[in-house]
Structure 1
Amino acid sequence: MTTSQEDLLPATRRALLHRIAVAQAEGRAPSLVAAVVRDGRAVWHGSRTSVDGHAPDENVQYRIGSITKTFTAVLVMRLRDEGVLDLGDPLEKHLPGTGAGEATIAELLAHTGGLAAEAPGPWWERTPSSLRPALTDVLGEQPLLHSAGRRFHYSNPGYTLLGALVEELRGASWEEVLRREVLEPLGLHRTSAHPQAPHAGGWAVHPWADVMLPEPAEDLGRMAPAGQLWSTTGDLARFAAFLVQGDDRVLSAESLREMRTPAAPPEAADVAAGYTYCLGLEIRRSGERLLVGHTGSLPGFLACLTFSVEDDVAAVVLANCTSGPLLSALGADLVRIVAEAEPRIPEPWRPLKDIDPSVLELAGQWYWGTQAFVLRLTADGFLSLGPLAGGGRRSRFRACGEGTWTGLEGYYAGEQLRAVRRPDGSLSHLDLGSFVFTRQPYDEGAPVPGGVDPEGWRGIG
C-alpha cells in the first residue's frame, strides 16, 4: 500500500514518529512498524530499526497472533448473513461430537462459551502442531471450565472450534476459505498463513540484558484460526478500513456494527480497565475515547489494530519481540495524536430532498410521563429520539413501513416505535415498546396506562 506522507501535517507526522521511537527504544523491540489510517486509507507509515538490514516498510510481514480471530469471526458472520447458521445455534447443531457443543456460536465468538483459555499439554504456541492433530487434542477431556454464557473467559480453543465450523460448512480448509472469501476480495495479498519474504524474524529480548534469542515459528495446525496469520501494516490498514466501512463483497457495514457491539459480560477487573469483548473484536476505553480492534501476540511477535469510529482514525502497530512495548497503549496514542491534532472535518449539513408530511408531523417535543423528549428527523432518513436535556434513553430508529420504526441501539434496540392515530387520522401519541409518549405531560386525551386523574394538575393547598 502506498501512502502519501503529505496527508498529515508535518507536526503530526513528527509526533507520530516520536511516539513510536520512544516505544521502540523503551520497549527494546528489535524492530517496530506502524501505520495510521484516516478516511479509509493509510496516511502515514513509520518504522524503527531494521529487518534484514533495511527499514521495514508497509510490505514486511510480521506475525499478528490473535488478530487472526477477527478474520475468523468475519467468516462466521458471513455464514450467518447467508442463512447457513444462526448465532444462537448451539455448536452441536453444525459440528457434533466436540464435547463443547452446548455453547452457542455467539458465545464462542464472544469468549463466553465456558471453554479453557488454552489447549492442554505443552505450550501450544512453541510446540509442533503434530502434538494436536485433532480437535480432541485441542479441547482435552474436560473442555468446559465454566457454564456456557455466564462469564467472559478468553479461549483460544473456542476459536479453533469456530475455524472447524467454517471448514465443516464450507467443505474446504479454513485457510482456503479465508483466502477466497476475505483476503482476495479486500486485496490483502501480503496476508498469509505462512511467512512470505520479506518478513521479520521473531525474537525474545532478555529482560535484564540487551541480548536476544530467536523464537521458534511453529505452524499452529488446528489452532490456526486462533492465531496463525502473518500480515503487514499495509494489509492491516486496508483491513481496518474495512472493519469501519464494510464491503458488501465480504461483510456489510451493518454486520460489522454488530461485531463491534459488546457481547460478553465483563469481569470486574475489565470494567475497571474499560475493556469489553464483542464478536471477534475488543473495545478498550482510552480517556474519553472508545477504541475497537484486537491485539495479538505469539512468541517473537506483538501486534495491535485499533480504531476510533467516531474519529475515523485507525492505527496498526507490529513488533518482533515476545514482550516489550505495550502496543495497545501505543496504538491508542497514535489514534489520539491524529484525532486531536487534526480533528475530523464533519460532512456539510444538507437538508432532506423530500419528506412525507405524516413523518414530519412526528418531529418535535414529546413527553414520557413528565420527562421531555425530542424526536428529530435526520438527513440519513432515520428518526432520533432522546431526552431534551440531561441523560436518559436515546436511540435512532429505522423506518419499517406503515407508520412503524425499529430501534437501532441502546435500550430501544429492536423495539418498535409506532405512531398511533385517531379515527379521523389526527396524531394521538407514540407507542414505544408499550411506553406512551404524548404531546403534553400525561395528556388526558391520550390513552395513558393507568389513566389521568380527572381533576388534573394542582398545587398544594
Structure 2
Amino acid sequence: MRTIRERRRSVPLWCGLMNAVVLISSLAGGTTVSARATELPSPGWASASEINAFLQKERADLKLSGLAVVVLSEGSVLFEGAFGDATPGGPAVTLNTPFVLGSTSKQLAGLAIQQLIAQGKLSLHDTVGTLLRRLGSESSPFADVTVAELLSHTSGISTAAGTADVFDPTPAFTSLGTETRHLLTTASSSLAGTRFEYSNGNYTLLGSIIEEVTRQTFEAALQSLVARPLGLNTTTSDLTAAQANGLAPGHYTWFGMIDSTTPGPRWPMGAPSAYTSSTAVDLSRLLEAELGRPSGIDSAVFAADHVPLAAVDKYSRYASGWYVRSFWELHDGDENFDDPALPLIYEHDGDTTRETSYLAFSPDLGFGVVVLSNTGLGTDSGRFSEFTYQLLHTIVGTTAAPHVVDPVVAAAPIIMIALPLLQLAALILLTVSFVRRRLGRLARSMLRVIAALVTVVTLFVAFVVVPERTHQSLFNRVWWAGVPDLAVSTASSLLFATATIAVGVVALIHAQHRRRSLSVNDPADNASWKQ
C-alpha cells in the first residue's frame, strides 16, 4: 500500500523553481509553456509496435492480470492497448474497463478544488477551521491549515494518520464525515507549511471541504465539477456504480508468483484520496484537457492546477495532486538531469495493494500516459515504479538507467515460503531429539542446536527485518491486509517458532522432573549425589 511516491530520482530545486517561474509567468501573461518548445530535446517517439512489445513482456514479468495503457504524443494518440481479463474467465479488459485508481484519485479531487476556487466559492488561503466548523475543526490542531497546505501535503497531518483507516480491513470510521472528525483530533506531526509529508488525510479533509462548500455528497460534486464537464462517463467514487460499469476486481501477486483475485478495502471515506475509479478512455480525456485541448473546464483552472505549491525535496515539487519534476527520461540513462532545457513532467502513481495506476503528462511535448492495472505487486511494489520508469524511456526512445536490484526484496518470495517450512522442520527435529531415545547424545545435541538456530533466525526476521523493511509495526493490521502473503508467512513462522519453544521448555521441565524423581527413588544414585 503505497501512500508516498517512491522517487526514483529527482531534479535540482533551482531547475524546478526555474520551470515553475516559467509556468507561473505564462499563466500571468496568458501564454502557454510551449513557448520554450524550440529549446527542448526532441524525443524519438517509439512506434506502437515497440510499445506493445514492451508492455507484453512487462505484463508477463509482473504477472499483471489486467492492464490498460494509452500514450498521447504531440496532441494525438500514439498507442492504446488493453491486455488480460477484467474478471477471472470473464470479459477481456478494454479501454472502457473501470479500475480503482489508488492515489491517482487525488488529481480529480484537486481539480474539483480548483474548480471551486475559479467559481469564487473557495480560496487557497481559506482555513480548515473556517471551512469545517460543522465537523469540529475550530478546536483542532489543524484549524489554521489552509487549502493550499492540504493540496500540497504540508498540513502536518501524518502519513500514519492518513493511512490507518483508509487501508484498514476493519476501520472504526468509514464515512467521509466521521473520518474527517477523527483526523481533526489527531496530533500534528509538524507545523503547517514547514514540511512535505504525504498523507491521504489531506485529501480526506479536501473531500469534506468539497461537500461543505457545494452542499452535495463528494460523488455528486465530483460529477458536476469534473466528470460531466470533461465527458468522463464512467469515472465515479461510487463503488456500486463502478461495479455496474464492469469494475475490474483487485488482484494480488502472492509470494511474487501467483496472481489471484484478492479483495481489498474500498471505503467511502477514501474516495478523494484512493478509491475513485475510472477508465483509460476517461483518463485520456482528462490528460488531453490538462494538455490544453478545449473542454468544459476553463483553461485557467488547469493552469492553476499545474502551479507547484510546495517543495517535496530539493529536487521536485507538488502541485494539486501532481508531482512536478524535469523530464530527465529524455536523456539516455537520465544523464544531464539538471539540463535547464528539459521540460516539466507532471506525474502521480497509485497503489491500493490490489490495484496500481500511473498518470503523467508534459505540456511542452503534448505528451501523456495512462497506465491502469488491477494487480497489486505485494512486497516488491517498487517494481511498478520501475515499470513506469522503463515505459517512459521506451516511449521517448532513450535508454533507461540500470535497475539496481535489492537482494532482500528479490529473495522475499523464496524467504516467505522457506522460513515457515524451515521452522516447521526445526519443530519436528526438536521433537525427535526428545522422543527418539535411541539417538546418541551428540545427535540429540545437534538436532537441538539446529532447532534453536532456526528459531532465533525466525524471531530476528519477524521482529527486526520485517518491521525495518516495511516500516510498519508487526502488529499493525493495516500492514497484514496490505501484504497478506508476508503476513501469512510471518504468522505461520511465529506459530511454529512458539511451538518449538514450547516443546523445548516442556521437554526440559519433564527432564528436570525425571532427574529429581530418579534422585529420590534410587538410593545409590542419591548416595552418590551426596558424595
Distance 1:143-1:225 versus aligned 2 partners, 3 A rule: farther
1:322 equivalent in alignment to 2:322:
no
1:185 equivalent in alignment to 2:229:
yes
The letter of the residue matching 1:199 is L
CA distance in 2 between partners of 1:58 and 1:50 (Å)? 12
Segment drifting more, 76-85 vs 128-137: 128-137
CA distance in 2 between partners of 1:258 and 1:331 (Å)? 26
Distance 1:283-1:149 versus aligned 2 partners, 3 A rule: same
1:202 equivalent in alignment to 2:283:
no
SS of match in other structure, 1:66: helix
The letter of the residue matching 1:262 is P
CA distance in 2 between partners of 1:202 and 1:183 (Å)? 23
SS of match in other structure, 1:245: coil
CA distance in 1 between partners of 2:368 and 2:60 (Å)? 23
1:117 equivalent in alignment to 2:159:
yes
The letter of the residue matching 1:158 is N
1:257 equivalent in alignment to 2:292:
no
SS of match in other structure, 1:280: coil
CA distance in 2 between partners of 1:211 and 1:336 (Å)? 28
Output aligned runs, 1:85-164, within 5 Å.
Answer: 85-96=122-133, 97-98=136-137, 99=140, 100-119=142-161, 124-128=166-170, 131-133=173-175, 134-135=178-179, 138-139=182-183, 141-164=185-208
**TM superposition shift of 1:23:** 2.0
**TM superposition shift of 1:87:** 0.5
Asked whether the equivalents of residues 138 and 157 of structure 1 are also in contact (C-alpha less than 8 Å), the reply is no
1:229 counterpart (270, 276, 295): 276
Unaligned segments of structure 2, at least 5 residues:
1-43, 331-341, 399-531
Asked whether the equivalents of residues 46 and 397 of structure 2 are also in contact (C-alpha less than 8 Å), the reply is no
**TM superposition shift of 1:219:** 3.4
1:21 counterpart (56, 59, 71): 56
1:283 equivalent in alignment to 2:324:
yes
SS of match in other structure, 1:119: helix
What TM-score, normalized to structure 2?
Answer: 0.57
Distance 1:28-1:123 versus aligned 2 partners, 3 A rule: farther
> Any idea what the Cα deviations from partners look like across 1:175-220, whole Å, max 9, x if unmatched?
1011122111211112122223423211111234x22343324332
Distance 1:11-1:159 versus aligned 2 partners, 3 A rule: closer
CA distance in 1 between partners of 2:164 and 2:190 (Å)? 22
CA distance in 2 between partners of 1:145 and 1:10 (Å)? 44
CA distance in 2 between partners of 1:283 and 1:332 (Å)? 15
Asked whether the equivalents of residues 291 and 332 of structure 1 are also in contact (C-alpha less than 8 Å), the reply is no
> Any idea what the Cα deviations from partners look like across 1:30-78, whole Å, max 9, x if unmatched?
2222111234454421233333344411011111011111111111111
Aligned match of 2:104: 67
Asked whether the equivalents of residues 45 and 396 of structure 2 are also in contact (C-alpha less than 8 Å), the reply is no
RMSD: 2.7
Distance 1:216-1:237 versus aligned 2 partners, 3 A rule: same
SS of match in other structure, 2:60: helix
SS of match in other structure, 1:14: helix
> Any idea what the Cα deviations from partners look like across 1:157-186, whole Å, max 9, x if unmatched?
111111100110100001101112211121
- Which structure is higher in RCO with an 8 Å CA cutoff and minimum separation 6? 2
The letter of the residue matching 1:46 is G
Aligned match of 1:295: 349
Aligned match of 1:312: 366
1:51 counterpart (86, 90, 97): 86
Distance 1:186-1:310 versus aligned 2 partners, 3 A rule: same
SS of match in other structure, 2:291: helix
SS of match in other structure, 2:228: helix
Asked whether the equivalents of residues 192 and 229 of structure 1 are also in contact (C-alpha less than 8 Å), the reply is yes
The letter of the residue matching 1:103 is V
Aligned match of 1:239: 286
Asked whether the equivalents of residues 128 and 220 of structure 1 are also in contact (C-alpha less than 8 Å), the reply is no
The letter of the residue matching 1:19 is F
Which has a greater percent of strand?
1
Report the structure number with the largest CA radius of gyration. Answer: 2
> Any idea what the Cα deviations from partners look like across 1:307-360, whole Å, max 9, x if unmatched?
12221111111112222574445445545544459xxxxxxxxxxxxxxxxxxx
Asked whether the equivalents of residues 112 and 150 of structure 1 are also in contact (C-alpha less than 8 Å), the reply is yes
What TM-score, normalized to structure 1?
Answer: 0.65
Task: Report % sequence identity.
Answer: 25
The letter of the residue matching 1:131 is F
Output aligned runs, 1:204-219, within 5 Å.
Answer: 204-208=252-256, 210-219=257-266
The letter of the residue matching 2:372 is L
CA distance in 1 between partners of 2:282 and 2:213 (Å)? 27
Asked whether the equivalents of residues 313 and 339 of structure 1 are also in contact (C-alpha less than 8 Å), the reply is no
**TM superposition shift of 1:122:** 5.2
Segment drifting more, 42-51 vs 109-118: 42-51
SS of match in other structure, 1:93: helix
> Any idea what the Cα deviations from partners look like across 1:98-152, whole Å, max 9, x if unmatched?
2122111101001111111143795532425663441356416324111000011
> Any idea what the Cα deviations from partners look like across 1:214-257, whole Å, max 9, x if unmatched?
3324332223211121111111111111122165632x323323
The letter of the residue matching 1:281 is W
The letter of the residue matching 1:309 is P
CA distance in 1 between partners of 2:275 and 2:173 (Å)? 16
Asked whether the equivalents of residues 96 and 281 of structure 2 are also in contact (C-alpha less than 8 Å), the reply is yes
CA distance in 1 between partners of 2:190 and 2:269 (Å)? 23
Asked whether the equivalents of residues 82 and 95 of structure 2 are also in contact (C-alpha less than 8 Å), the reply is no
1:175 counterpart (219, 223, 234): 219
SS of match in other structure, 1:35: strand
Which has a greater percent of helix?
2
